[in-house]
Structure 1
């Protein structure tokens, strides 16, 4: 007898439990240039953790922990064919390499008030004239390691 293996029966290497293992900020907002990891040490000192549990059925959960408290638990979906993980509808591409994967997360420039809430000002001048803070566009990279 010969056994034929169906391609769709292959288990994705993404299935499992992953924990954030590094966090960097790119030099450029278009996710290029050198990565600066200084914020990661700061985040670790405060007990910042992100765990992703990725299930075979294309779903999963992302949990963010800050210190001893669960700050946020969000459902996720993933698609191997697109190399994407979608958290609350926000889809980001991942690159997997053995027991780790990375996600680049670009963020558009925005204006925030004293409470850290985003305002509707769409230029730096209108934002700052209103006494708010302009946040430049940026891009960060998260690295996750399989547990």
Structure 2
């Protein structure tokens, strides 16, 4: 009889457990382990990892911490400063959203990658977009033109 009462009590406790304890594949901390620039702005072609080598040499580090409630924190450390940015994530859509943009991730084992395409733009000396839509008009106005580019970031589970 004691075994039945104990078994019933255990089943009752287990049935009432918080489902948030069922972590998704991304739950936990992930460290950025690579970053490449695609040869083409449409996120295709060979990847060039030389910018990543420079970031590592200067001590820059990024990590993402995913909570089971669909929120998380992106932490960037470098140059003696640490910045944190909140994000949300949806495992069913394979998406991470931050600062008004959503990015699709690809998860394979203990690594995931995000491709981030950036449009060409023109910035003034204050880093503000000037509205010029061509390199010629941008530079003629004394501003800085940045070509369109696509990056791939790779994160590994900590």
TM-score computed with the length of structure 2 as normaliser: 0.82
Note the C-alpha offset of 1:76.
Answer: 0.4
- Hey, what does 2:108 align to over in structure 1? 97
Matched, 1:106 2:117: yes
Give the distance between the partners of 2:64 and 2:106, measured in 1 at CA. Answer: 15
1:81-115 deviations in Å (ceiling 9; x for gaps): 11000112211000001111000000000012234
Matched, 1:130 2:145: no
- Hey, what does 2:59 align to over in structure 1? 47
Note the C-alpha offset of 1:116.
Answer: 3.6
Matched, 1:145 2:153: no
Q: 1:47, 1:68 within 8 Å by CA — same for their partners in 2?
A: no
3-state SS of 1:142 partner: strand
Pairing partner for 1:86 from 97, 102, 114 = 97
Pairing partner for 1:38 from 37, 44, 50 = 50
Larger radius of gyration: 2
Give the distance between the partners of 1:83 and 1:108, measured in 2 at CA. Answer: 23
Matched, 1:69 2:51: no
Q: 1:104, 1:140 within 8 Å by CA — same for their partners in 2?
A: yes
TM-score computed with the length of structure 1 as normaliser: 0.88
Give the distance between the partners of 1:103 and 1:140, measured in 2 at CA. Answer: 8
Matched, 1:119 2:152: no
Looking at secondary structure, tell me which structure has more helix per residue. 2
Note the C-alpha offset of 1:117.
Answer: 3.3
**Cα RMSD for the two superposed structures:** 1.6
3-state SS of 1:30 partner: coil
1:5-48 deviations in Å (ceiling 9; x for gaps): xxx98531111101100010000000000000001110011111
What are structure 2's unaligned runs of at least 5 residues?
1-19
Q: Which runs of 4+ in 1 moved over 4 A?
A: none
Task: Count residues with an aligned counterpart.
Answer: 139
